[in-house]
């Protein structure tokens, strides 16, 4: 059994890789750069998590959302991996503690926001790790955020080209579920991954069904949809505004559906509690703005 398969089984509990995962893992673990396009649920995270565990030093994972970081780190800790994150939700003392752990070689993976990574202070920390051979790899998640044509554009992602200039010996892997050929070219050019190996998976998801119906009393339609086919199942209902989120969640609750609201207007503690309940409890319907859901690893979501 290869070291990659050994790690897959002993750490994550899977007996075999899916699709191109093994080729990607072997390529990055050996020090190669990669651009990975894989549909949501295809197992993108393992493509950098396993190389991170196989290579010496700490892997730096660039992630755009606090919820995504927390979810990934929580899952990694459950399987015994030394992982943590640095973002604005932490106190100064806790952030310093994590930085010390990183420099001491106590972490396998560290998740950071792009804004933090490109600060002079954090780059100085990375310089120290690079000089001592303790940078395993850079993983740039949600890499489509580099595209100025996309609705998820994050200007800080444009500055990530500095990684290739400053740390040329460290492998980089950029991953996304949403990029057509033009966006892939843009990602490769802006992140200086034009020489990287591309892995493009099919978008076909035979276990997913798309249904479109004319809108006619949408609340009644929503309730009938849940009651007739998804009662007691986990799902997500997206609304276009915070006000609609609150109103819809309250209305569903009145109708006997276990619904919770999620949007940026709620306090951080309430958002965290609702997310935790959605992940841990059965049959919760999360009513949310589009800020919710990216990277949430919940295997039993039955409708959106």
Say whether pLDDT at 109 is over 60.
Answer: yes
Chosen domain end from 174, 200, 226: 200
Q: Per-residue pLDDT averaged across 63-73, rounded? A: 84
Are both 115 and 250 inside the same structural domain? Answer: no
Containing structural domain, residue 233: 218-303
Are both 242 and 195 inside the same structural domain? Answer: no
Are both 20 and 165 inside the same structural domain? Answer: yes
Tens digits of per-residue pLDDT, 133-161? Answer: 999 999 999 888 887 665 567 778 888 88
Q: For residue 175, what pLDDT is reported?
A: 92
CATH of the domain at 156: 3.40.50.300
Domain for residue 66, yes or no?
yes
Tens digits of per-residue pLDDT, 207-260? Answer: 788 899 999 999 999 999 999 989 999 999 999 999 999 999 999 999 999 999
Are both 29 and 166 inside the same structural domain? Answer: yes
Domain for residue 206, yes or no?
no
Are both 189 and 240 inside the same structural domain? Answer: no
Domain for residue 76, yes or no?
yes
Are both 177 and 224 inside the same structural domain? Answer: no
Are both 181 and 240 inside the same structural domain? Answer: no
Q: What DSSP line would sit under 205-266, residue for residue?
A: -TT--------SSHHHHHHHHHHHH-TT-EEEEE-SSHHHHHHHHHHHHHTT--EEEE-TTS
Are both 23 and 117 inside the same structural domain? Answer: yes
Are both 143 and 11 inside the same structural domain? Answer: yes
More confident residue, 79 or 202: 79
Domain for residue 120, yes or no?
yes
User: What is the domain count for the chain?
Assistant: 2
**Can you say how many angstroms the Cα of residue 261 is from the centroid of all Cα atoms in its chain?**
21
Q: What share of the chain is helix, strand, coil (3-state, %, to 5)?
A: 45, 15, 40
Chosen domain end from 173, 200, 227: 200
Are both 106 and 228 inside the same structural domain? Answer: no
Among the residue ranges 196-210, 219-233, 275-289, the one predicted with the least confidence is 196-210
Are both 13 and 85 inside the same structural domain? Answer: yes
In terms of Cβ atoms closer than 10 Å to its own Cβ (0-12, 13-18, 19+), residue 98 is middle
Are both 120 and 192 inside the same structural domain? Answer: yes
Please give the share of the chain, as a percent, with pLDDT higher than 90.
Answer: 65
Beta bridge partners of 86: 112
Domain for residue 267, yes or no?
yes
Q: For residue 207, what pLDDT is reported?
A: 76
Domain for residue 180, yes or no?
yes
């Amino acid at each position: 059994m290869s070291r990659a398969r050994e790690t897959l089984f002993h750490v994550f509990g899977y007996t075999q890789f899916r699709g191109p995962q093994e080729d990607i893992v072997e390529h990055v673990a050996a020090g190669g750069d990669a651009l990975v396009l894989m549909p949501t649920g295809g197992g993108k995270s393992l493509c950098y998590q396993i190389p991170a565990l196989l290579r010496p030093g700490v892997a730096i994972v660039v992630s755009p959302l606090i919820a995504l970081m927390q979810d990934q780190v929580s899952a990694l800790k459950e399987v015994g991996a030394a992982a943590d994150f640095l973002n604005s939700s932490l106190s100064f003392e806790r952030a310093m503690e994590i930085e010390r752990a990183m420099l001491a070689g106590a972490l396998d993976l560290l998740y950071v926001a792009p804004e933090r990574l490109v600060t002079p202070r954090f780059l100085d920390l990375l310089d120290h790790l690079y000089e001592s051979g303790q940078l395993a790899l850079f993983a740039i998640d949600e890499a489509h955020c580099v595209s100025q044509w996309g609705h998820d554009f994050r200007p800080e992602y444009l500055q990530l080209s500095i990684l290739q200039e400053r740390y040329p010996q460290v492998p980089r892997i950029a991953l996304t579920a949403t990029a057509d050929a033009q966006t892939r070219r843009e990602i490769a050019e802006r992140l200086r991954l034009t020489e990287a190996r591309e892995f493009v998976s099919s978008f076909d998801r035979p276990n997913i069904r798309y249904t479109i119906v004319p809108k006619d009393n949408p609340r009644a339609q929503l309730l009938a949809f849940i009651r007739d086919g998804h009662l007691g199942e986990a799902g997500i209902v997206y609304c276009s505004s915070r006000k609609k989120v609150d109103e819809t969640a309250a209305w569903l609750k009145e109708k006997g559906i276990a619904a919770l609201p999620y949007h940026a207007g709620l306090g951080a503690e309430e958002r965290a509690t609702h997310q935790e309940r959605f992940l841990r409890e059965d049959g919760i319907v999360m009513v949310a703005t589009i800020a919710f859901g990216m990277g949430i690893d919940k295997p039993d979501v039955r409708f959106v």
